[in-house]
Amino acid sequence: MHKDELNSERYFNIHTHLPGSTHQEVSVYILSQDDLISERVNSPYSCAGIHPWWPEDIDNNQIEKLKISILNLLEAGKIWGVGETGIDRLYPEYLDLQKELFQWHLELANKYQKPLIVHNVRAGSDFLEIIKAEKPQTPWLFHDFRGNMELVDSLLKLHEDCYFSFGISLDNSQTVRDVIKEIPIDRIFLETDVQKHLDIHDVYIRACKELKLDLPALKEQIYNNFLRFEPSIH
Ligand SMILES: [Zn+2]
């Protein structure tokens, strides 16, 4: 898709693991392990990374192979964003490896000037430490954000190019419904993640209700957020 085709009529789904988007939807697709190994990219908004859960299923050898594919894809200019990558404290046995992999992705995002797609589960203070140690040079998206406003404020203070996206959690978390009202509106995105039966239109409707905005106003806002998020047009 050419950039000219972006407009505020379209829905922006900032994070999905399910390929294929409709004509009205701009989807940022997270490449699967199979996509990475075959170095197959079909979407102009594809992200490449090693998910923090994957070390549970794959060994170091496979991780090294994925790293080579990710580098090849970045070198070939086929990648829009780096990730998803991150820290998930519900998987404590992989914490060191997750941190090491996160650092690797962060350096790639800086080197290739790509947005970084961040998976954060109960690891807010880990990210604050990382940002303090090495100032990010590109926008970061905290996808499926479930943290509180204190974390949002601390992150934005250290790295003003942080964004936060919301999906199914708007339905099942009061914390998320409270936080989305407080976050600066130019930092908000919406997503369907791995949810097969969740339509991005429905996520917009849920967010409209919380933000007290009508649908055209929210579409205009998220479109502008997307333009701002892409480092290439900064
Ligand atoms: Zn995801």
CA of 193 to the centre of ligand 1 (A): 5
CA of 119 to the centre of ligand 1 (A): 7
Answer yes or no: is pLDDT of 65 > 60: yes
CA of 194 to the centre of ligand 1 (A): 6
CA of 53 to the centre of ligand 1 (A): 10
Answer yes or no: is pLDDT of 144 > 70: yes
Q: Is residue 41 within 8 Å of residue 76, measured between CB atoms?
A: no
Predicted local distance difference test score (pLDDT) of residue 21: 72
Q: Using CA atoms, how far apart are residues 175 and 190, in angstroms rounded to an integer?
A: 16
For range 75-89, the mean pLDDT: 96
CA of 151 to the centre of ligand 1 (A): 20
CA of 155 to the centre of ligand 1 (A): 20
CA of 218 to the centre of ligand 1 (A): 23
For range 87-108, the mean pLDDT: 95
Answer yes or no: is pLDDT of 1 > 50: no
Answer yes or no: is pLDDT of 35 > 50: yes
CA of 52 to the centre of ligand 1 (A): 10
CA of 168 to the centre of ligand 1 (A): 12
Other beta carbons within 10 angstroms of residue 229's beta carbon come to 24
Residues in the chain: 234
Phi, psi for residue 213 in degrees, rounded to 5: -125, 155
For range 60-66, the mean pLDDT: 97
The structural domains of the chain, with segments of one domain joined by +, span 10-233
pLDDT level of residue 231 (50, 70, 90 thresholds): low
Q: What is the torsion angle, in degrees rounded to the nearest 10, for the CA atoms of residue 20, residue 29, residue 233 and residue 206?
A: 80
pLDDT level of residue 20 (50, 70, 90 thresholds): confident
pLDDT level of residue 233 (50, 70, 90 thresholds): very low
Mean pLDDT of the chain: 93
CA of 192 to the centre of ligand 1 (A): 9
Chain segment 127-143, per-residue pLDDT in tens:
999 999 988 999 999 99
Chain segment 175-191, per-residue pLDDT in tens:
999 999 999 999 999 99
Predicted local distance difference test score (pLDDT) of residue 134: 86
Q: Percentage of the chain surpassing pLDDT 90? A: 89
CATH number of 10-233: 3.20.20.140
CA of 71 to the centre of ligand 1 (A): 20
